[in-house]
Amino acid sequence: AQKVTQAQTEISVVEKEDVTLDCVYETRDTTYYLFWYKQPPSGELVFLIRRNSFDEQNEISGRYSWNFQKSTSSFNFTITASQVVDSAVYFCALNGRGDNYGQNFVFGPGTRLSVLP
Amino acid sequence: NAGVTQTPKFRILKIGQSMTLQCTQDMNHNYMYWYRQDPGMGLKLIYYSVGAGITDKGEVPNGYNVSRSTTEDFPLRLELAAPSQTSVYFCASRGSFGQPQHFGDGTRLSIL
């Protein structure tokens, strides 16, 4: 079975603070993909990043960075110098190969980030 | 590129009415999904499809039906609307294993 846990239900920070959103996953697959999505107050779901299980390099894109650690089954997302526009719900997701050619695609419950001015 | 298109964007139904939420994608994706998102909550999978002619239940299928006669279209049918079905409904599609899901803009449905 696959599972994604985002233990932080809600986080509030003041603008310019750094914030890390945690994602812990469970899977028996050796081949899998992890994703982060953003859902701003306007409601749409926006794909941010994908990482496969064989690539543990950290990724940085501007103020965003992602830390993938297989040893702890975590794929954490850090926003540096947060801005009000970062306020959103963030979802972590897992797609494992399993024995059904990768049909399983599981979302975590989401973390609501509020960045206060 | 249109991506995933959902119609309508908003709808108000009376209890007991029926309606179909439309979803179409132009990316030739095999996988398609329907989710509902209640206020302040996460995504709950209603139904999904791995290709034309093949559908399967998600975690909350009761009260809904789907069909997948073409690769492009994946309509969601509500037969007897109930207040508990008030929610935002998202359709998504993706390509092969490891590809991200692409979402439509959602349908906001209220049942009164």
Predicted confidence (pLDDT) per residue in A39-88, tens digit: 999 999 999 999 999 988 888 899 999 999 999 999 999 999 999 999 99
- Of A55 and B32, the one with more pLDDT: B32
Is A33 in Cβ contact with B42 (below 8 Å)? Answer: no
How far is the C-alpha of A105 from the C-alpha of B101, rounded, in Å?
9
B24 CB burial (10 A radius; 0-12, 13-18, 19+): buried
pLDDT tens, A2-25? Answer: 899 999 999 999 999 999 999 999
Sequence-separated (6 or more) residues with CB below 8 Å from residue A71: none
Nearest chain A residue to B32, by CA: A103
Confidence of residue B29 (pLDDT cuts 50, 70, 90): very high
Paired with A47 in beta bridges are A37
Q: Beta-carbon neighbour count of residue A116 at 10 Å?
A: 11
How far is the C-alpha of B106 from the C-alpha of A102, rounded, in Å?
25
> What single-letter DSSP state applies at residue B73?
B
Residues of chain B contacting residue A109, judged by C-beta atoms under 8 Å apart? 41-42
Residue A99 clears pLDDT 80, i.e. is over it: no
Q: What angle do CA A45, A46, A49 make, to 5 degrees?
A: 135
- Of A104 and B64, the one with more pLDDT: B64
Residue B1 confidence (pLDDT)? 66
pLDDT tens, B81-97? Answer: 999 999 999 999 999 88
- % of residues, chain B, pLDDT over 90: 95
How far is the C-alpha of A4 from the C-alpha of A7, rounded, in Å?
10
Residues of chain A contacting residue B91, judged by C-beta atoms under 8 Å apart? none
Residue A59 confidence (pLDDT)? 87
> Best residue in B6, B27, B34, B43 to probe A by mutation, most A CBs within 10 Å?
B43
- A47 to chain B, any CB pair closer than 8 A? The answer is yes
Residue B49 confidence (pLDDT)? 94
